[in-house]
């Protein structure tokens, strides 16, 4: 299982955005002719109005990769080592010489887990000989130094991998990537480090899938397509969203045009269709409903 997971982590190619995120030939030529950033952003906003994206740059601009010449989906980043945009990029790992992202993140986690168990097994089996070495009960041969070296190497790798594995387990529970842990994604309401978090159990299912019997196997079972992710910030129905948009002024991206609204149906999947909803979404829906009631009362009085 250790070798299988390591193999899958290395040789699974990073997933790239689909063609729908690429600019058309006319838009690309117009984008290259424009010199003003405002005009370029206007072209990108028109091209992105029907795409399922909810995040922007820190300056509220459309996330565009000049290298790959495409609009970046949510959680997508360009890897300078691989020279390609990677869906849900976590980091570029030199130990596997590959990008860790949507296509192989589960394999990477299993690789860390089985590496941890392998180091623990080696250290446990060598421990008795290590004790004999310190008590001078081990025969005076060159092999005793090999035992000492093997035990220390297994113990050091176990400690280092344990810290890395624990950190990534925490990231999975929070539904964050390593990049998002250091720089929170920016939504319409501003940066939110928990914007993609759906609750610990749902976050775990998003990476490992619905069927637990496949969780420990290095088989791809992650939910979604890597381009579109459900968020706890975008779960309102269109009528509630329309009411809230009337009550609150639209936030612009440096120009008079607001950031394009995305179809809510594209952000829904079976993770959001379960009967139990998390506390944050419930409080937000109550706030929106109360705002809608106030708007109706004011309209009737006027």
Catalytic residue list: 93
Beta bridge partner(s), residue 64 = 71
Residue 135 φ then ψ, to 5°? -95, 10
Q: Are 165 and 119 in contact (CB under 8 A)?
A: no
Distance CA 145, CA 213 (A): 42
Sole residue written with tokens 């790239």: 16
What is the helix, strand, coil percentage profile of the chain, to 5? 50, 10, 40
Q: Is 252 helix (H, G, I), strand (E, B) or coil?
A: strand
Q: Which two tokens stand for residue 27?
A: 């838009």
Interatomic CA distance for residues 35 and 294, integer angstroms: 46
Phi-psi label, residue 22: left if phi above 0, alpha if psi -120 to 50, beta otherwise: beta
């Amino acid at each position: 299982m250790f070798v299988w997971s390591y193999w899958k982590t290395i040789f699974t190619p990073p997933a790239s955005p689909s063609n729908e995120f690429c600019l058309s030939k006319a838009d690309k030529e117009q984008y290259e002719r424009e010199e003003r950033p405002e005009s370029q952003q206007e072209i990108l906003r028109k091209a992105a109005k029907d795409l399922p994206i909810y995040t922007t740059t820190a300056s509220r601009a459309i996330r565009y990769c000049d290298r790959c010449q495409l609009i970046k989906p949510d959680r997508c980043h360009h890897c300078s080592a691989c020279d390609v945009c990677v869906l849900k990029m976590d980091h570029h790992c030199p130990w596997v010489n590959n990008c860790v992202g949507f296509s192989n993140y589960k394999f990477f986690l299993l690789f860390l887990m089985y590496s941890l168990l392998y180091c623990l097994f080696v250290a446990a089996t060598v421990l008795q000989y290590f004790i004999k070495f310190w008590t001078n009960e081990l025969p005076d041969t060159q092999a005793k130094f090999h035992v000492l070296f093997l035990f220390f190497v297994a113990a050091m790798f176990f400690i280092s991998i344990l810290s890395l594995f624990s950190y990534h387990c925490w990231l999975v529970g929070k539904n964050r990537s390593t990049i998002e842990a250091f720089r929170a994604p920016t939504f319409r309401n501003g940066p939110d480090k928990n914007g993609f978090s759906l609750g610990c159990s749902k976050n775990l299912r998003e990476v490992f899938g619905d069927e637990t019997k496949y969780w420990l196997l290095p088989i791809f079972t992650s939910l979604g397509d890597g381009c579109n992710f459900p968020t706890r910030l975008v779960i309102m129905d269109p009528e509630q969203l329309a009411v809230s948009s009337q009550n609150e002024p639209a936030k612009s991206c440096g120009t008079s045009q607001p950031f394009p609204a995305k179809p809510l149906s594209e952000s829904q999947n079976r993770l959001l269709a379960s009967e139990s909803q998390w506390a944050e979404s419930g409080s937000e829906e109550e706030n929106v409903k109360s705002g809608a009631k106030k708007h109706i009362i004011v309209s009737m009085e006027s």
